[in-house]
C-alpha cells in the first residue's frame, strides 16, 4: 500500500510529486541582497533531494525589510539578476517545483547574523538601519524604537510586496509564499502585543488583519493563475493576550476567501516572553485546528523529523503536507531515506542512480530522466 507521504498532491495550479516540502531557511550569505555561490550550492543540493517542493529562504521586499544585512532580497534588478543566475543553474539539473517566501522583518530587522549573536544593530552601526513596524515598539526593550508606518509607509510596503511578486513571476517561480509568521512585519500587524495602533489597522481582529489581507489581495491580483500564492502563519504567540489559534482560524478563512492556495502553520517569534512547549510535533495541533476550518491545503511543520511521525500526521488528517527545515540541512537526503523506509519510490538524478542500495532495489524512479 502506498504511503500518504509519497502520494502526489495539488497546491492550486501546481502538482507536487509527494507531500514533503522543504521549508524556507535563511542562510545569511547574501551580498547587498544578492544571492551568492553559497545559495547555488545550498539550493542545488536540496533540489536533488527528492522532495515535492523547494522553498527559497525569506526574501526581503525592501532593503529595510531584511532580518540582517546578509539576507536575500528581491527589491532591485541586481537582486533579480543574481537570483536568476542561481535558479538557472539549479533548474539545469532539477525540475523540482520552486517557491519563494517573500517577507519584511519589520521591527525584527537590522540584526547581526546568528553566528555572531543576532543582536539588534542601531542606526549608526555600519550594518544597521532604522526599522519600521505597526507601532513604535522594539522587539526587545533595549532595541531602538522602530518608525511606526503611516499611510504612505503602508502603501510603500504593500507596493514592495507587489513588485517582488512580479519579479518572482518573471523568474518563473512556481509559487509565492507571503511570510506572515515568526514575529515579522505582517505578523506584527496581526498580534495585539505588537500592534497598538488606534486607526483602522489596529484594535479589533478585523482591523489587525486589514493590512496583511490588503498585501495578500494586492499580490494575488498581479500573480497569474498558474502560480500558486500561499501564506505562512504563526498559529499562536505562545504568550498571554497575544495572537492565538482562534484568531489564526479566522485569518485563514479570510485568506482562503481571497484565493489563497495553501497555508503553512508555524508558531511563535513575536515576543521574547514566549513560552513554547517544544517537542516533536508541538505545532501539529495548530495545523489540525486550521485544517478543520478551511479547504485549502495545510502544511504542518516543527520537529517532525521521524518518518513514521510524518506519515502519521498525514494519515490522521491533521495536515496535507509535512515541511522540514533543520532536518533537511542535517540530512539533505531525508526524502530518499523516508522512501526507502516505506518501500516507496523517489526521484534521483541519473548521476546518483548507482548509489541505490542493493536492499532497496525499487527505491529510485528510473523514469525520472527519460
67 contacts: CB under 8 Å, gap ≥ 6: 26, 58, 60, 105, 108, 109, 111, 184
Which value, in Å, is the radius of gyration of the alpha carbons in the chain? 20
Say whether 75 is catalytic: no
Closest alpha carbon to 99 in 61, 59, 54, 162: 54
Contact 311, 4 (CB under 8 A): yes
Distance CA 53, CA 23 (A): 9
Write out the three cell numbers for 208.
Answer: 489587525
Buried (b) or exposed (e) across 145-172, using 16+ Cβ within 10 A? ebeebeeeebeebbebbbbbbebbeebe
Report residue 231: phi and psi, to 5°. -140, 150
Q: Phi, psi at residue 63, to the nearest 5°?
A: -55, -40
- Would the CA dihedral through 185, 190, 194, 195 be positive or negative? positive
CA 131 – CA 127 distance, rounded (Å): 12
Buried/exposed code over 200-236 (b: 16+ C-beta within 10 A; e: otherwise)? ebbeeeebbbbbbbbbbebbbeebeeebbbbbbbbbb
Spatial distance between the Cα atoms of 276 and 263, rounded to a whole number of angstroms: 21
Of 28, 69, 184, 201, which residue is the catalytic one? Answer: 184
Cite the active site residues. 184
Amino acid at each position: 500500500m502506498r504511503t500518504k507521504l509519497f502520494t502526489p498532491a495539488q497546491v492550486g495550479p501546481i502538482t507536487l510529486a509527494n507531500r514533503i516540502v522543504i521549508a524556507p531557511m535563511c542562510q545569511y550569505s547574501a551580498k547587498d541582497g544578492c544571492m551568492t555561490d553559497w545559495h547555488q550550492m545550498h539550493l542545488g543540493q536540496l533540489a536533488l533531494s527528492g522532495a515535492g517542493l523547494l522553498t527559497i529562504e525569506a526574501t526581503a521586499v525592501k532593503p529595510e525589510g531584511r532580518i540582517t544585512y546578509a539576507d536575500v532580497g528581491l527589491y532591485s534588478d541586481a537582486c533579480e539578476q543574481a537570483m536568476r543566475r542561481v535558479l538557472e543553474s539549479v533548474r539545469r539539473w532539477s525540475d523540482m517545483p520552486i517557491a519563494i517566501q517573500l517577507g519584511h522583518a519589520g521591527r525584527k530587522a537590522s540584526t547581526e547574523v546568528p553566528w555572531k549573536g543576532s543582536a539588534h544593530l542601531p542606526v549608526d552601526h555600519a550594518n544597521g538601519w532604522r526599522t519600521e513596524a505597526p507601532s513604535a515598539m522594539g522587539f526587545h526593550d533595549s532595541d531602538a524604537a522602530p518608525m511606526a508606518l503611516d499611510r504612505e509607509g503602508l502603501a510603500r510596503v504593500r507596493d514592495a510586496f507587489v513588485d517582488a511578486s512580479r519579479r518572482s513571476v518573471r523568474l518563473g517561480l512556481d509559487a509565492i509564499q507571503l511570510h506572515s509568521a515568526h514575529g515579522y512585519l505582517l505578523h506584527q500587524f496581526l498580534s495585539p502585543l505588537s500592534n497598538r495602533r488606534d486607526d483602522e489597522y489596529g484594535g479589533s481582529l478585523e482591523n489587525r488583519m486589514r493590512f496583511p489581507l490588503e498585501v495578500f489581495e494586492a499580490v494575488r491580483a498581479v500573480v497569474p493563475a498558474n502560480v500558486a500564492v500561499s501564506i505562512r502563519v504563526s498559529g499562536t504567540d505562545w504568550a498571554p493576550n497575544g495572537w492565538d489559534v482562534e484568531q489564526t482560524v479566522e485569518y485563514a478563512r479570510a485568506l482562503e476567501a481571497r484565493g489563497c492556495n495553501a497555508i503553512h502553520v508555524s508558531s511563535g517569534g513575536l515576543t521574547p516572553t514566549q513560552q513554547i512547549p517544544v517537542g516533536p510535533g508541538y505545532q501539529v495541533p495548530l495545523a489540525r485546528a486550521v485544517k478543520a476550518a478551511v479547504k485549502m491545503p495545510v502544511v504542518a511543520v516543527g520537529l517532525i523529523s521521524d518518518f513514521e511521525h510524518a506519515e502519521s500526521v498525514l494519515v490522521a488528517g491533521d495536515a496535507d503536507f509535512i515541511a522540514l527545515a533543520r532536518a533537511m540541512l542535517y540530512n539533505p537526503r531525508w526524502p530518499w531515506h523516508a522512501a526507502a523506509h516505506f518501500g516507496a519510490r523517489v526521484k534521483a538524478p541519473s548521476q546518483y542512480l548507482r548509489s541505490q542500495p542493493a536492499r532497496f532495489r525499487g527505491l529510485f524512479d528510473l523514469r525520472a530522466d527519460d
